[in-house]
């Protein structure tokens, strides 16, 4: 495809390019924002990281650590569920890709949907499939890190043979668990933003309000939720 043809294609689908660009900017912009606020200790993820450190210090003081392994196993099962669901979503999207003409006809019959070409439709499907492939890799990496965390718990010294500096060992194990949780959270966010991108099939102008709504929902849950308020109160009582 020549440069002139690319220019014509961009001019024809400028609203779709703008919609996709705004969606992408909101996703990665929020990722940067929440990582920055997390380092400052102002969101739910950071508060849970502190609780994991407390959990692992308590774990080192227990002879029987079956409960701790069960908690890690529960997190693994959750991440595995979402990873397998991501594969099912991708398989479904590829099936839709193979029946593009019929799918396009169904969407175009909706009174508020924009007429689109087969090429643009396939680009939309592939873009959405890429989101869930990304989510799959995030969840699977989270599973592996949780497994590493379980090994570290199993390899921790018994209660009567705890070495000096064991508190640092607990913090290191908690760091691995928190990193696993962060990757799982990135996969969950991919689901949220994937749902926002789904509106692109109807009309490019629908992507902006859907994406802003998703950002607002995630922001409120991670920065203004009742869960966060209770965790902060718990941390304050622990310090007193």
* Full residue range of the structural domain in which residue 205 is found: 19-36+46-234
> Quick check: is 146 in a domain?
yes
- Angle between helix 14-39 and 207-223 (nearest 10): 10
Q: Which residue has the tokens 């991501």?
A: 86
> Quick check: is 239 in a domain?
no
Q: Give the pair of three-digit tokens for residue 208.
A: 């902006």
176 in Cβ contact with 155 (< 8 Å)? no
> Quick check: is 7 in a domain?
no
What is the domain count for the chain?
A: 1
> Quick check: is 4 in a domain?
no
> Quick check: is 13 in a domain?
no
Q: What is the pTM for the complete model shown? A: 0.87
Q: Give the pair of three-digit tokens for residue 129.
A: 């499939």
Q: How far is CA 182 from the centre of its chain?
A: 8
Alpha-carbon gap, residue 49 to 55, rounded angstroms: 10
> Quick check: is 41 in a domain?
no
> Quick check: is 12 in a domain?
no
> Quick check: is 8 in a domain?
no
Q: Over its length of 240 residues, how does the chain's per-residue pLDDT go in tens digits?
A: 455 444 444 545 778 889 999 999 999 999 988 888 766 667 888 889 889 988 998 888 888 889 999 999 999 999 999 999 999 999 999 888 888 777 777 777 767 677 777 888 888 999 999 999 999 999 999 999 999 999 999 888 766 666 665 666 888 999 999 999 999 999 999 999 999 999 998 888 889 999 999 999 999 999 889 998 888 888 777 766
């Amino acid at each position: 495809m020549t440069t002139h043809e690319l220019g014509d294609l961009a001019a024809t689908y400028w609203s779709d390019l703008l919609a996709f660009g705004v969606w992408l900017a909101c996703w990665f912009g929020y990722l940067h924002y929440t990582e920055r606020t997390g380092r400052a200790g102002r969101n739910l993820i950071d508060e849970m990281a502190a609780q994991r450190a407390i959990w692992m210090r308590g774990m080192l003081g227990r002879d029987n650590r079956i409960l701790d392994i069960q908690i890690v196993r529960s997190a693994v099962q959750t991440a595995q569920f979402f990873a397998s669901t991501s594969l099912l979503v991708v398989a479904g999207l590829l099936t839709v890709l193979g029946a593009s003409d019929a799918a396009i006809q169904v969407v175009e019959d909706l009174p508020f949907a924009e007429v689109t070409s087969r090429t643009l439709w396939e680009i939309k499907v592939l873009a959405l499939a890429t989101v869930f492939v990304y989510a799959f890799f995030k969840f699977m990496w989270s599973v592996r890190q949780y497994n590493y965390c379980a090994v570290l718990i199993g390899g921790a010294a018994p209660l009567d043979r705890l070495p000096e500096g064991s508190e640092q060992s607990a913090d290191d194990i908690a760091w691995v668990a928190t990193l696993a949780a962060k990757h799982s959270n990135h996969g969950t966010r991919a689901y949220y933003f994937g749902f926002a991108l789904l509106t692109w099939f109807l009309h490019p102008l629908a992507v902006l309000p859907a994406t802003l709504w998703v950002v607002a929902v995630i922001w409120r849950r991670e920065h203004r939720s009742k869960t966060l308020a209770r965790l902060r109160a718990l941390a304050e009582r622990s310090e007193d």
